[in-house]
Chains A and B, each alone.
Chain A
Amino acid sequence: MFRSRSWFGGSLWRTKNPHSLDHLKYLHTVLSKNQTVSESNRSLLVETLRSIAEILIWGDQNDSSVFDFFLEKNMLSFFLNILKQKCGSYVCVQLLQTLNILFENIRNETSLYYLLSNNHVNSIIVHKFDFSDEEVMAYYISFLKTLSLKLNSHTIHFFYNDHTNDFPLYTEAIKFFKHPESMVRIAVRTLTLNVYRVQDHSMLRFIRNKTAAPYFSNLVWFIGNHVLELDACVRNDADHSSQSRLADLVAEHLDHLHYLNDILCLNIDELNDVLIDHLLNKLFVPLYIFSLLPAHQFSPLQEGKPRVSSVVSLFLLSQIFLITRQEALVNDLANVILKSTAANWENGSFVAQARPVFGAPSRTLEESLETSTSSLGEATSEDVSEPVGNLNITDEEKEQRLAQEAQKVFLEVVVNSLDCDENDYAALFALCLLYAISQNEGLDHIMLDGMLLPARNTELKQRYNAWLVQKLVNIVTQSCQAVCKIRLVTLELAILLLQKLVLLEGKNLLSDAHYAAVVGAKEESAALLTSYYKREDMFGEMFESEDEDMRKKPLNVEWLMMDSNVLLPPTGTPMTGIDFGKRLPCGEVERARRAIRVFLLVRSLWLNLSGLKETQLPLTNRNDCVQSDTDLDLTNSDLLACHVIGPDGVRNHRFLVVESNQIILVVPVPGKLGYGRPKLAAMLHDLDVSADKHDSRSLFLSAKFTTVGPMVNTKFIFDDHIRCMAAQQRLTKGRTKAREEKMRQMEKLLDIPPSESPQYNLLQQLRHQHRSAGSRSMLHHKIPGFPTQIRVSSASPRPSGDEGSEASNSPGTRSRDGSPKLPRPRSEEIQLESIKVKQHK
């Protein structure tokens, strides 16, 4: 809307072409004539700046003389001049956006140099905008971020001045590191990472000497305060009422760790030294690790210092080991947790030197930046604590301290948290921490051998951490009891860790006693499950669905540690929305589900430790089913013609085959006599069959799972009610048989002697009567000629005559392909063998 107005009535200088040097000259006069911003000319000014940007972008790609003129007339100074006039947020925002557009769309490095050449950009960066205006703040920080994306080893010198020791782009940006607006904080982080990765030595030295300690100490304090907030949220939310707040705080902590990790991964040694020192001595050790100990211990050191609950502390420490693999950091941290003893900490620090304290930095970031950048050249090391130094204890020291050595202060607490007598609240996190440490690739293996991994020294009598294994075995054993407070997720993790501890190259190092305990647990879990066992379809379905669920979603510890819900005390009610595996069971059905899962978990542990392969599970292997539209040889199959109407209302002509525990719908394959192409396939035992009340020729079929095509309340229409009834019988009998077979498999799995339930007997009786009536099949007996008719309608005829007279009743069934006659099972007996699947090329 301004375009027309601003150019309307312009001077004679105005040119037709908005993209030209002449037009830029014209705009220059506009600026020159309007040096003072007023209410009446601000729109004109804004529009002029915009047009200048547009011409420059055009010039960048088409005409470099535009930039010469721009530089010659020092046109960026107009921008600055306007800014300095306190002209309100509208003009500031427009101006910043124009600069954004300009810097983002310039492609030539030389054009960029022109823009940056006389330090105006730095003057704009340090301009005191009204940052209380959120719009100004957003555009300003985007501007800085855009500039940071232009940094490289050449352009860095326009921003970092090593004579004046000045780097406003960086120092101004980091002042907003804890801005309440998350997008602003993210932009600051992006900018810092973009700066660090330029890898300019003198710039990095500036960052390290002048800014690293103030920035990192304030950052660490900021993170620590977030953690305290998180802890308060957990403490005050026993009733699970502020789940979303907690979720945010957890995600925020993860963001912090990922940011720190992103810095560490740039592998800038001088920076990492300072960062790691701050992290260890001002946050991780004093706040996270010290909080593991009961409040009275360590009191002289930590008096009055904030702490978090040990559950929160274990949770946060696990996150660290899951996210960062930076050797220097994780080794020192793991060393403190796994190795340090009370004696090590006598002087308040681990092997003397730095004394870890979580406390507010002596000055705010802005204050420290002011002093450190004004005192030229001199490094302020006041905030930098001494490096922790060599945390590894020498052999000599080891011997001296042998007496006290037994007490590994922190490890003791962690491992003792594995006792689940009251609940498994802390145990879950202790497991996570130990697991996270054991899988961290940045860690020195020597530290883990015999501790969290099997000892590789074959001389040793005990090649694994028996103390810890005993605790894990206890969790497994307790989980198999009818009444217990251990959640499934805890059991699964304990099993995962146990396997890590004792399996070396597939071989299990367990002592006889420990192995016997596992075997015992496996039997207990089977006994527990047997107590819930019912010879019902429902139970079979439940068993299979739990098995499949666990197969589909194996435990992912990293994801588990992203779930803030586990931070709240374990609960039983599903109404919190917490996953089944992460809470206690509620009600009889859930207890049965739990028993199934415990059985499956412990069984797989036992198999792995015994070096055995699973041969009995899953009960249904859908991989054996017809999977695709690969053509099937159906020359020996019974085919029933029907029309099928799916949920989409489309009506199709199909042939129904019931074989090998499956229902398959096929269409004839052109040019391949006797073959059918599957359009739909499902396991019979997944099938729901219901008759159509209004039409005796129709059936409704649904299947939870299909291996080809969907089947949801699909209508099958047969030629007449008799064929319909026949199909229904075939399907329901086949299903009954498949389900029975499944029950037998399950009983074998649980060592239950085959039962003689009334339901079962009834079925057998029925079958017996049926046979003794002298009919080989209801179909054949009651409907003479029926199968023949099927074949008539079939486009893939099978060899005729195999059923005797019935076949010969219809001339249309004469075998045309002359395939050999094969004995065919009675049609009510559904074959269990697989269909021959032939690849059709």
Chain B
Amino acid sequence: MSYAYLFKYIIIGDTGVGKSCLLLQFTDKRFQPVHDLTIGVEFGARMITIDSKYIKLQIWDTAGQEAFRSITRSYYRGAAGALLVYDITRRETFNHLTTWLDDARQHSNSNMVIMLIGNKSDLESRREVKKEEGEAFAREHGLIFMETSAKTAANVEEAFINTAKEIYEKIQEGVFDINNEANGIKIGPQHSPSNSNLSPGSKPPSQPSGCC
């Protein structure tokens, strides 16, 4: 299925915060946690619609590659959006945000949209980081913020889609140089400024499925 734009995302944060679970929950809802079995994956793609345009999101998890400086560097540079995730039940994952952010800011395209995510909101009883703290951090650093749960799927859609909306707005404002694929944005095969209509016969996906 063809798309108007493809946005590449990366997903970063300490180990165990739930990056892989968030990714799979977003790209493939069929994996509902049963019997406490949360499943994750480190790559996924899904079509969404914004402004009645098909937008494909491609999400690359960077976990396990921190050992190599060259790899983290290039990942950041190739992305239009980043989800920076911490675990609301583990304060240290919140404390490390500055390091992640510094790294992201140093290596990424300056227009990259960063969404701060406090994950595991289902574990309210074990909460160590207040929602207000996440909000304050996001405000201070100019990020969008949301609390999610990869387990209950709360806010997962919103997190990925709001990030896409922000990127889309930046494109409309002309901030992104969309002809430069190094930004993590690709124009779809049939997309041209005069004819951004969708190819006949295709309809926006009514429900997310892996088939895009």
Contacts and interface: CB of A to CB of B under 8 A. Distances in A.
Interface of A: 1-3, 18-19, 46, 50, 54, 57-58, 61, 90, 93-94, 97, 100-101, 104-105, 135, 138-139, 142, 145-146, 149, 182-183, 185-186, 189-190, 193, 197, 244-245, 248, 251-252, 254-255, 258-259, 261-262
B92 interface: no
Contacts of B45: 135, 138-139
Is chain A's binding surface mostly helix, strand, loop or mixed? helix
Contact of B69 (A94, A104, A252, A262): A262
Given A58-B35, A183-B60, A190-B65, A262 B70 contact: yes
A244 B177 contact: yes
B31 interface: yes
Interface string B68-85: 111101110110000000
B14 interface: no
A149 B39 CA distance: 17
B182 A54 contact: no
A50 B24 contact: no
A186 B37 contact: no
Contacts of A146: 42-43
23 contacts: A1-B207, A2-B209, A54-B39, A58-B37, A93-B210, A94-B211, A97-B44, A100-B43, A101-B41, A104-B42, A142-B42, A142-B43, A182-B78, A183-B58, A189-B68, A190-B68, A197-B67, A245-B180, A248-B182, A251-B77, A251-B182, A262-B68, A262-B70
Contacts of B78: 182-183, 186
Interface in B5-38: 8, 20, 24, 28, 30-31, 34-35, 37
B64 interface: yes
Interface string B39-69: 1111111000000000000101000110111
A138 B58 contact: yes
Contacts of A54: 31, 37, 39
B45 to A, nearest CB: 6
A258 B177 CA distance: 26
A560 to B, nearest CB: 14
- With most chain B CB atoms within 10 A of its CB, the pick from A50, A101, A193, A261 is A101
Nearest to B210: A94
Contact of A104 (B40, B60, B71, B181): B40
B134 to A, nearest CB: 21
Contact of A101 (B24, B69, B74, B177): B24
Given A193-B68, A258-B69, A261-B70, A139 B43 contact: yes
Interface of B: 8, 20, 24, 28, 30-31, 34-35, 37, 39-45, 58, 60, 64-65, 67-71, 73-75, 77-78, 177, 180-182, 207, 209-211
Contact of B20 (A104, A186, A245): A104
Given A104-B20, A244-B177, A186 B74 contact: yes
Nearest to A101: B41
Given A18-B34, A19-B34, A104-B40, 9 more contacts: A97-B44, A100-B41, A100-B42, A104-B42, A183-B8, A189-B74, A248-B180, A251-B77, A258-B69
Contacts of B71: 186, 189-190, 193, 262
A101 B30 contact: no
A142 B92 CA distance: 29
A60 to B, nearest CB: 10
A185 to B, nearest CB: 8
Contacts of A94: 210-211
Nearest to B38: A105
A531 to B, nearest CB: 39
A245 B180 CA distance: 8
A196 B95 CA distance: 33
Contacts of B43: 100, 138-139, 142, 146
A50 B24 CA distance: 13
Contacts of A100: 41-43
Contacts of A90: 211
A94 B71 CA distance: 27
A527 B46 CA distance: 66
Contacts of B74: 182, 185-186, 189, 255
A254 B42 contact: no
B72 to A, nearest CB: 9
B64 A105 contact: no
Contacts of B75: 183, 186
B136 to A, nearest CB: 15
A3 B30 contact: yes
A246 to B, nearest CB: 11
